[in-house]
Amino acid sequence: MKSKSIFPILFGFFVMGFVDVVGITTNYVQKDFQLPDSIANMLPMAVFLWFFVCSIPTAMMMNRIGKKHTVLVSMALTFIAMLIPMISYNYPMMLLAFALLGISNTILQAALNPLAATTVRKEMLTSILTWGQFIKAISSFLGPILAGAAAIYTGQWKQIFTIYATITLLSLVWTWMSVPNVKEEKQAIDIKATFSLFKDSFIFSLFVGIIMVVGIDVGLNTVIPKILIEKTGMALEQAGLGTSLYFVAKTAGTFIGALLLAKWSPKGIFRICMVIGLIALAGMIFGQQSILMYVLIVVVGIAYANVFSIIFSNALQYKPERNNDISALMVMGVSGGALFPPIMGLVSDMSNQATSLVVLVLGTVYLMMIALSKKMQ
């Protein structure tokens, strides 16, 4: 594959970042329709549940039509999902739009990572995937800014979906025209054989690790504005920028990580980040001042920025001859984004938003256990 084809592939990570708009969207939909936390947080569940359902069928699709065409299918579905809120805006239609976004993003994540892996040397894979996460993070932090700007200047925050639909269409055309069709060695994808990989304790631990890191990411994405409102009394439009701050920090973290991971041990960076993450989460639980909360949001964003790519690349390199179905299993773990917000919503309904962060602390403890594994590279 020509090296220039990596650019449309990396731009695909920008489209992948659209899924993170569900965090600020949850807050706007909750405000528009006066929903309790436990009901509003069904929106993230509507997105991330499909990562569990569709990841294995996506692996089978990749085997049948190839990685490139699977990516194109995902972008077409993303385009359709972005049109739905502009056609009809109510809670059931938002659930439908984000369910379709979840399906399309599942396909994109399962296919784009191994497609990127075909363009680089094995030793550069972690760094390249981290660059992809860097681009995804740029997309993610722009979401709340665009939604807030749309709300202020047009009176309709949902105009963000018009922008997303346009960008998705451009990405689809670029990928179609610029990424060549590469003859791929067929991998026999059998559901039973794929799930049999869970018999390998290391693969299973990485799968659960993906559940945890995505759950933490989506949990923070959703809860940061609510915590700022609860602790400081900010308006939603201002508190929503806290989510953008989190993604700015993730963007900086992934940029730094892409440089460091090309030279330093991913395992060592992983361990340091989890210690920092635990300290920052504890500070967010007990902190009160807005300046302190902003600092902690930055720290926590940097701490978790590279964990997904470190775990994913370890999985792909562990058994490269099975990278299609291993990729599918890891993407299935992204369903952790459906698991954490409802649990956090129940905790916050019973107590408060800060207490719900305990769920994220428990997930971080598990990630620390993985970071200490001798099999981590």
Domains and CATH numbers, the chain: 3-180+188-371 (1.20.1250.20)
pTM equals 0.75
Tell me the average pLDDT of the chain: 85
**Cα 32 from Cα 34, distance rounded (Å):** 6
* Whether the Cβ atoms of residue 8 and residue 175 lie closer than 8 Å to each other: yes
Q: What is the mean pLDDT of residues 116-124?
A: 71
Q: What is the dihedral of CA 196, 202, 208, 212, to 10 degrees?
A: -160
What does the pLDDT read at residue 183?
67
What does the pLDDT read at residue 205?
94
Q: Which residue from 57, 65, 118, 114 is spatially nearest to 332, judged by alpha carbons?
A: 57
**Cα 277 from Cα 303, distance rounded (Å):** 5
User: Which one is predicted more confidently, 168 or 141?
Assistant: 168
**Cα 287 from Cα 196, distance rounded (Å):** 45
153-181 per-position pLDDT tens digit: 888 888 889 999 999 999 999 989 888 77
What type of residue is 304?
Answer: Y
Provide the pLDDT confidence category of residue 298 given band limits of 50, 70 and 90: very high
Task: Check pLDDT > 60 for residue 187.
Answer: no
Task: Check pLDDT > 70 for residue 1.
Answer: no
What does the pLDDT read at residue 2?
47
* Whether the Cβ atoms of residue 66 and residue 184 lie closer than 8 Å to each other: yes
Task: Check pLDDT > 70 for residue 11.
Answer: yes
Q: Spell out the residues 6+ positions from residue 157 whose beta carbon is closer than 8 angstroms to its own.
A: 28, 147, 148, 150, 151
Q: Specify which of 87-91, 177-181, 253-257 reaches the highest per-range mean pLDDT.
A: 87-91
